[in-house]
Structure 1
Amino acid sequence: MNIELRHARIVSVICRSGSISKAAADLGVPQSSLTAQLRRIEKAVGGPLFVRSASGVVPTVLGERLLPMLTELVHRADMVIVEAAAHASSSMFRFGNADWTPPSLLSALQDSLPGTEVRTETLRPDAAVDAVRRGWLNAAMVPCSSFVEPDDHVEIDTAVIVREPVWLALTPGHPLCAEFSVDACHLASLKWVRYARDHWFHPMEKDLFARLPVAEPEVLHYVHGHHEAMSWVRDAGAAALTTPTGATKDVALVPLAETESTEMVLIWRSGSVDRATLAQLVETVRGYYCAYARTIPRYWSWMAEHPAKFPQLLRYLQMA
């Protein structure tokens, strides 16, 4: 068997992950399949590349010699892809977004970049970061800057668009909808829909649930996105935590007295977007956020009453 780029990428991901199971998840393949591929690669190079243990994998002596070269091969191949994509897509702007992408966002981006075809894609935050690094996307929105981990090869720049609070979503007409805000004591008796453990919103939700005065409130279902959560609120009478712009128009939103905030962060590959386009992009996304927030009356009035919580949007709030 000849060593190919895909083999180099496999061992590079395993080395970076430090675990066969984590690497399999990153590559989107079954662990058994990845283990079998690794055995074939190790046979081709003449020996094991990793020592396996219950805590993960570490390079063997052979691995310490070969892995840096294989990783560099992957990096150089990625740079070729990035440069080729940049040349081929000079008249196209690819924009990624996490969780869901309204058609109106595509329209706003397209209007702001005349003469350039804009294409949007919805994907997981970690996948969006990876796509920006590889040049498959020109820019993307992710819900937290912590998704952008340091990389020795490709630097990512960021700009915070807005810090958005987490609120409570309820069925319209629920008694708590009449409250100015709710605190932990109001939440303990509700039936909940919660987010799957691998969803980006789960850690924030977990922190808020830890403040409830009961050990484990009733959970009807675990979802993998805000819009699925809203369907359970609407159709099953559940309660859910959400960002206000993650809610749908058929549910009611109530502020939480003590809440967390999520970041909406614009990311792009350093040096890949010219300053004028970048400034226009930031302006467009912030303006779009405010326009969308205006369609949520309770949230927009709350924003106007708490301008200090939205420093990036002050000029939009002052124009209201």
Structure 2
Amino acid sequence: MRQARIYHYTLPVNAGLFVRDQPLTEREGLVVELSEGAQRGWGEVAPLPGFSQETFAEARHALIAATAVWCDHRNIAMPQLPPSVAWGLSIAQAELDKRLPTQSGFRHVPVCTGDPDALLVTLGQQPAGQPYEAKIKVGEYEVARDRLMIATMLEALPDLRLRLDANRRWQPEQLASFWNGLSEAHQARIHWIEEPCRDPNQSLVQAQALGYPLAWDESLIDSQNMALLENDRVSTWVIKPSLLGDLATIEQWVSRAHALGKTAVISSALETSLGLTQLSRLADWLTPGVVPGLDTLGIYQHQLDRTWPGASQPLIPLHDQPLVWINTL
């Protein structure tokens, strides 16, 4: 016998958070709980404003309909579902079926959004044996400031390697100025620059001209040009499951990246602690040699149902959230 419940959560986020230049004051999402016999699995469905193709209302409607299909023992047409819904249902099914490993190292790369001193403190608290690396957001300030911050950190920490994310903020000439202004020794310690220009074609042209390592993130979602995505100058695919689709689709993206000799990185789309712990388990399973990009829990004032090790925010149980749907027997 199959049973299911769908919960609706709304969690406040810390002040000052902007997504695609729009303020975000709370995170709204759904959690589906699937039960079959003694087994249960959970999945988070939370479209990310400014990134997801579906709205929250569309995701809710699709999730209720698809969950009813699951309860009726019929096959769900995953490719026809909004990506966030397909992801949430499929990871819940994988947890129920025990396909998703239960163990995780809960690794993540710390993110710096403008305070290098805070990042230095965080790096000093990293677990032994974890690669000494960090992610830095660039492009929000003038190029000279970003370049000075990067160079200063690399000089201060000789073992540090960096992932840079420009969120498509740079013009091609700004990207060239930034990269050419770094020493070759510092360039060699940049893992990649993620989505530097608004136009992905300009990012690729500059990668070919300058030789910097290019990573795709948003382009995996909004570009259908596989020649662009798979180009040899692209070193890394940053994979956000809830923006791309179900678990089978994510496995295909990871396998394709590996077949092309590229790095595949599992990354968050501002999931709650429930979703982040699942992404951590997924990363240990599909990309065990790469530390995932999951350092986003700090935006929240609370954790949801599952705790991230070492996180200080108080925990809110899932069953305290409003129940929006339950199948009737």
Q: What's the TM-score once normalised by structure 2's chain length?
A: 0.26
Which protein has the bigger helix share? 1
Q: What's the TM-score once normalised by structure 1's chain length?
A: 0.26
Which is greater in Rg? 1
